[in-house]
Amino acid sequence: MTSSAVDTQEIFKQGIFKGKILLCSGGGTGICRDMTESIVRHGAKAVIVSRKIDKLQKAAEEMSKSAGGEVFAVQADVRKPEDVERAVAEAIKKFGRIDFLINGAAGNFLAPFEKLSYNAIKTVIEIDLLGTINLTKAVLPYLKASKGSIINVSMTLQYRGVPLQSHAGAAKAGIDALTRHWATEFGPSGIRVNGIAPGPIAATEGMKRLLSKQATPRTIPLQRFGELGDVSQSGVFLFSEAANYITGLTVVVDGGHWLTTSSS
Ligand code: HXC
């Protein structure tokens, strides 16, 4: 058994993100909430964006307290350009700048391709892939001004291909491609673009929805399911100056899971 996730406060200096503003889609729950909280603990302020304002508001209040910083909730559906433009305008009105963008909003479910309706496929591709595109397009002018950094949240199931995930895998493969395209295109403006591909992370919606109840960590080389902190510490690293010369990379945070496990 390998050791578990670490407290980034013990590895990175406090206050490394002081003065920085993070905008995170999907930041009200799961992996993206934990990443937001970790980045705020290191001194940033954050705007979290998702569809359900009640849940989002509660998450923002809880995180502001637990991380000792300022987290602001803005309702938006990343599929709608007008929502995204408004959310970014509200973030700028509140904090005046954006330094970090996490594209984390996602929708997913297990379903055989032949049973997926046209609308089901469109829905997942619109939330994951188009949502990433829409938000990045709206935030880009501000990232150019701050010489900021992007993290696109992906997954690993598209690497080998697994049944019941063609809709999400297509979207996530597109996101991995955007990470590389944008790294080349935005690099000269001083913007770094990386991805994080989490594997089976305990206590997440993805794990609940996608991993079978019989799944065991025995097939994972590092012999344990991941924890939220495992992903967050990678996020802190990628936004930090320790990653200054890293762009276009999707960091797989899965304990080696995809190398040895062919399906969920
Ligand atoms: C087949 C389904 C379905 C299912 C919905 N649909 N669920 N089809 N199997 N289980 C179909 C609906 O019938 C509808 O098609 C279409 O999808 C849109 O559904 P709506 O409910 O109207 O859409 P919406 O309210 O926008 O909800 C989007 C959603 C929902 C993706 C369907 O599940 C959602 O909001 N999820 C957000 C949270 C989430 O999924 N988190 C998991 C992310 S995990 P018709 O034809 O009937 O109109 C992840 C990483 C995994 O992404 C990493 C693994 C290791």
pLDDT at 4: 84
Residue 119 CA, ligand 1 centroid: distance in Å: 10
SS3 62: helix
Q: What average pLDDT score do residues 28-47 get? A: 98
Nearest CA residue ID for atom 40, ligand 1 = 107
pLDDT at 264: 53
Q: In this prediction, what percent of the chain has a pLDDT beyond 90?
A: 88
Ranges of each domain in the chain = 13-260
What is the distance between the alpha carbons of residues 233 and 11, in angstroms, rounded to a whole number?
Answer: 9
In which band, very low, low, confident or very high, does the pLDDT at 138 lie, cut at 50, 70 and 90? very high
Q: Which helix (H) or strand (E) holds 32?
A: helix 30-41
pLDDT at 114: 98
Question: How many Å separate Cα 70 from the centre of its chain?
Answer: 19
Q: Convert the pLDDT of each residue in 8-34 to its tens digit.
A: 888 898 899 999 999 999 999 999 999
Closest atom, ligand 1, to C-alpha of 172? 52
In which band, very low, low, confident or very high, does the pLDDT at 2 lie, cut at 50, 70 and 90? low
Q: Which among 49, 109, 231 is the best mutation to test ligand 1's pocket, defined by most ligand atoms within 8 Å of the CB?
A: 109
Read off the amino acid at residue 103.
N
Q: Convert the pLDDT of each residue in 185-232 to its tens digit.
A: 999 999 999 999 999 999 898 888 878 777 889 989 999 999 999 999
Q: Convert the pLDDT of each residue in 108-124 to its tens digit.
A: 999 999 999 999 999 99
172 labelled catalytic: yes
E strand spans, the chain = 21-25, 45-50, 71-75, 100-103, 149-153, 192-198, 250-253
208 labelled catalytic: no
Q: How far apart are the first and last CA of the chain?
A: 21
Nearest CA residue ID for atom 19, ligand 1 = 120
Catalytic residue, chosen from 154, 166, 234, 240, is 154
117 lines ligand 1 (CB under 6 A): yes
Residue 86 CA, ligand 1 centroid: distance in Å: 24
Q: Which among 25, 56, 108, 220 is the best mutation to test ligand 1's pocket, defined by most ligand atoms within 8 Å of the CB?
A: 108
120 lines ligand 1 (CB under 6 A): yes
pLDDT at 47: 98
What is the distance between the alpha carbons of residues 5 and 230, in angstroms, rounded to a whole number?
Answer: 5
13-260 has CATH 3.40.50.300 classification: no
pLDDT of residue 263 exceeding 80: no
Nearest CA residue ID for atom 38, ligand 1 = 107
Nearest CA residue ID for atom 3, ligand 1 = 109
pLDDT at 8: 82
Residue 120 CA, ligand 1 centroid: distance in Å: 7
The token duo for 83 is 């929502």
pLDDT at 244: 98
Q: Convert the pLDDT of each residue in 156-182 to its tens digit.
A: 999 999 999 999 999 999 999 999 999
Q: Convert the pLDDT of each residue in 53-85 to its tens digit.
A: 999 999 999 999 999 999 999 999 999 999 999
CB burial of residue 143 (10 Å; 0-12, 13-18, 19+): buried
What is the distance between the alpha carbons of residues 134 and 127, in angstroms, rounded to a whole number?
Answer: 10
What is the pTM (predicted TM-score) of this model? 0.96
237 lines ligand 1 (CB under 6 A): no
Catalytic residue, chosen from 20, 149, 166, 172, is 172
Give the CB-side neighbour count of residue 54, counting CA atoms within 13 A. Answer: 0
